[in-house]
Amino acid sequence: MSLSFTHLGTGSRGNATLLECGEIKLLIDQGFSGKELTKRLARMDIRVDEIDALLITHHHTDHGSGAAITQRRWNIPVYCNDRTATALNLDLRNVHLFENLEALNFADDLALLPIPVPHSGADNVAFIASHRGERGAVLTDLGSWTDELVNHVAGCQHISIEANYDNSRLWNGPYPMKLKERISGRGGHLSNHQTGDFLSRVVNQNTRSIVLTHLSQKNNAAHLAESTVLYHIDEIFEGDIRISHQEGPDFTHHIGQEEPEVLSRERISIL
């Protein structure tokens, strides 16, 4: 039994990540409709009602718009902070409110730790999952980082992190100047170079897999994100690096396995 991470899809049109540990199934973020979530989980032969809990990083639509329907339709408990619960209008009778750096225990040997990250207009958190010495990080929607975040992510065997934009494409692209400034600001998103810089501070010999998420369709490209990040970590990282796209799931990383499990698009729906 080990930790595994599967991105059901990442990007401005919706985000959700499945974390599995034995029989326990946790969903980090739910930015899809109920129908879309059902369809994506069905590709893995998983029903939505098999999810044990939903954890929300922050209330922005692409990360939390599906939380209320998931809570209401399938009675799945939601874990989030107070601001997120209020903004998403969740039923507090089935919400577990947490504080930053409060360990969330889902089994004797499985815990998730919410770490605050800078993101404008939201009380955003990253999650660090721990299981019997295995550690995996999921962090997204941050324009910069803190020493605290570096300390917690350092040495994780798996790291999922956003690489939102390429500097040249953003500044030479069609967005209004105010939007460009917001995206590139401290509370915005990470550029490919920033993601590479951050990873150069936390990757070590224990890190076996990295997934780059939340790539902008207009301001980035998979080959730019991967090559820029590898420029920063190529001498210290020997594991697997992948890109998570908007249409998923495509692969699963199991901590302890050298190669990810590639998911077939031909899986039979269990609807």
Let me know if residue 267 belongs to a domain.
Answer: no
Judge whether 257 lies within some domain: no
Task: Find the CATH number of the domain harbouring 42.
Answer: 3.60.15.10
Q: How far apart are CA 228 and CA 88, in angstroms?
A: 35
Q: pLDDT tens, 170-190?
A: 999 999 999 999 999 999 999
The dihedral region occupied by 149, where left means phi > 0, alpha psi between -120 and 50, and beta the remainder, is alpha
pLDDT digits (tens, 9 = 90+) for 33-83: 999 999 999 999 999 999 999 999 999 999 999 999 999 999 999 999 999
The answer to whether position 266 is within a domain reads no
Averaged over 203-209, what is the pLDDT? 96
The pLDDT, as a whole number, for residue 121 is 85
pLDDT averaged over every residue in the chain: 95
Average pLDDT of span 215-238: 97
Coil, strand or helix at 143: coil
Token pair of 179 as six digits: 């939007």
Is residue 23 in some structural domain? Answer: yes
Query: pLDDT confidence of 267, banded at 50, 70, 90?
Result: very low
Q: Nearest Cα to 251, choosing from 38, 44, 36, 27?
A: 44
The rounded distance, in Å, linking the Cα atoms of 271 and 269 is 6
Question: How many folded domains does the chain comprise?
Answer: 1
Q: How confident is the model at residue 271, as a pLDDT?
A: 35
Q: Are 15 and 246 in contact (CB under 8 A)?
A: no
For 100-158, what is each residue's pLDDT tens digit? Answer: 999 999 998 999 999 999 998 899 999 999 999 999 999 999 999 999 999 999 999 99
CA 31/CA 228 separation, integer angstroms: 28
Residue 78: partners with Cβ closer than 8 Å, 6 or more residues away: 53, 54, 55, 56, 67, 70, 71, 85, 90, 94, 95, 96
| Residue 256 domain-assigned (yes or no) | no
Tell me if 199 is assigned to some domain. yes
Structural domain of residue 68, as residue ranges? 3-250
